[in-house]
Amino acid sequence: RVFVVSDLHTDYPENMEWVRRLAVRAGPPGAGEGFDALVVAGDVAETRDNFARTMEALRARFDAVFYVPGNHDLWLRREGGRYVDSMEKLTALLDACSELGVDTGPRTIGDLGIIPLFSWYHKSFDKEKDVNSVRVPSLEMACKDFHACQWPLDLGSDDEALALYFDKLNDKNNDAIEEVKKKSKQILTFSHFVPRQELCPEKRMLYYPNLPKVIGSDYLERRLRAIHDNAKDGAACHVFGHTHFCWDSVVDGIRYVQAPLAYPRERKRRINGGQGWLPFCVYRDGFNPEIYPAIWSDYYNKNRREPENTQLAPWVAKYFSKYYGPPVFAKQTESS
Ligand SMILES: [Fe+2]
């Protein structure tokens, strides 16, 4: 069996507790029937110490644990100057993984190939019309990565430089990926960031309508499509994380799944974080045909996407009028 989860955020004690309970519940590796693997699609913890504690607990429960780094994993603000920049922390996390026996490269288990893909977001990933009826806080204000991560100078300024840098990190696995493709009947690729914009709700539905500018990568979609290029029907799956929206939908022959634990406050509101059904069992001697309950992908499996429509959803309009006053172009919005 292969289970998937993302966005564990175990700096929250409730989330660390969830991991510990999960680790205890099913006994040590090999205690269950067959082989159980867990795919962790990034954002484990903000500090290296919590990261290592989390992965150690998971490794004590699962026969294999796979991981790719998320943005929170590369934050430096609580590391006390331990790393010069986020690249040095990235190396430290990958070293911790090899010490703990956590896989960060491609590997075949039974008939299934599991391939982690490094990625980072770029603004130009967002191709949809902006919401301009309200004043949306800047990306630098809304997204802590701009302060909590530090990058080498040549990577910090250009929009696509980081996305390209992270994408290129996958090149070192090209031979291993080819091997895995030869040996496997099905393939599961996974990343922290989002590969396609339609895997995120439209801007008018979002409390932060500029969210699509800090979530995804076109390079990632290109790379995962190349890996799944001649997959048979139902044999290709990509797992992602980051936006904390549960997701399960098939786009052009590839199944896309997000199964985030998310923040405790999100689980309480029951809108995006999963809980009872996590980690989600995506594979049991073949991909699980059951599409799992996810509010937004259920919505888009039934309703067409209308990115041209920028009229705020009622809950977003209410949120903006509470925190930012009435919409700037309220009249046009009402009459349209
Ligand atoms: Fe994230």
Taking only the tens place, the pLDDT of each residue in 142-170 is 999 999 999 998 887 677 999 999 999 99
Tell me the CA–centroid distance for residue 242 and ligand 1, in Å: 4
Q: CA-CA distance, 78 to 286, in Å (whole number)? A: 41
Tell me the CA–centroid distance for residue 117 and ligand 1, in Å: 14
CATH number for region 2-335 = 3.60.21.10
Tell me the CA–centroid distance for residue 280 and ligand 1, in Å: 19
Tell me the CA–centroid distance for residue 8 and ligand 1, in Å: 10
Tell me the CA–centroid distance for residue 72 and ligand 1, in Å: 6
Tell me the CA–centroid distance for residue 298 and ligand 1, in Å: 22
Q: What is the mean pLDDT of residues 206-231?
A: 96
Backbone angles phi, psi at 289, to 5 degrees: -70, -15
Among candidates 109, 240, 108, which has minimal Cα distance to 177? Answer: 108
Q: CA-CA distance, 16 to 12, in Å (whole number)? A: 6
Tell me the CA–centroid distance for residue 9 and ligand 1, in Å: 9
Tell me the CA–centroid distance for residue 51 and ligand 1, in Å: 14
Residue with tokens 């599961």: 188
Supply the pLDDT for residue 268: 82
312 is written with which tokens? Answer: 């705020």
Tell me the CA–centroid distance for residue 212 and ligand 1, in Å: 13
* Average confidence score pLDDT of the chain: 91
Tell me the CA–centroid distance for residue 107 and ligand 1, in Å: 24
- 224 and 191 in contact (C-beta within 8 Å)? yes
Tell me the CA–centroid distance for residue 272 and ligand 1, in Å: 14
Per-residue pLDDT for 26 more than 70?
no
Per-residue pLDDT for 204 more than 90?
yes
Residues 31, 32, 36, 40: is their CA dihedral positive or negative? negative
Tell me the CA–centroid distance for residue 283 and ligand 1, in Å: 24
Tell me the CA–centroid distance for residue 94 and ligand 1, in Å: 17
Tell me the CA–centroid distance for residue 219 and ligand 1, in Å: 17
Tell me the CA–centroid distance for residue 218 and ligand 1, in Å: 17
Q: CA-CA distance, 266 to 114, in Å (whole number)? A: 29
Supply the pLDDT for residue 306: 97
For 48-52, 129-133, 185-189, which range has the lowest pLDDT when averaged over its residues? 129-133
Residue 248 is inside which H or E element, if any?
A: strand 247-251
Tell me the CA–centroid distance for residue 307 and ligand 1, in Å: 23
98 is written with which tokens? Answer: 């090899």
Per-residue pLDDT for 336 more than 60?
no
Q: Where is mean pLDDT largest: 12-26, 192-206, 322-336? A: 192-206
Where residue 335 falls among pLDDT bands split at 50, 70, 90? very low
> Which amino acid appears at position 50 of this protein?
N
Q: CA-CA distance, 300 to 64, in Å (whole number)? A: 33
Tell me the CA–centroid distance for residue 201 and ligand 1, in Å: 16
Per-residue pLDDT for 330 more than 50?
no
Query: In this predicted model, what pLDDT tens digit does every residue of 267-298 receive, in sequence order?
Result: 887 666 556 778 999 999 999 998 887 889 99
Where residue 12 falls among pLDDT bands split at 50, 70, 90? very high
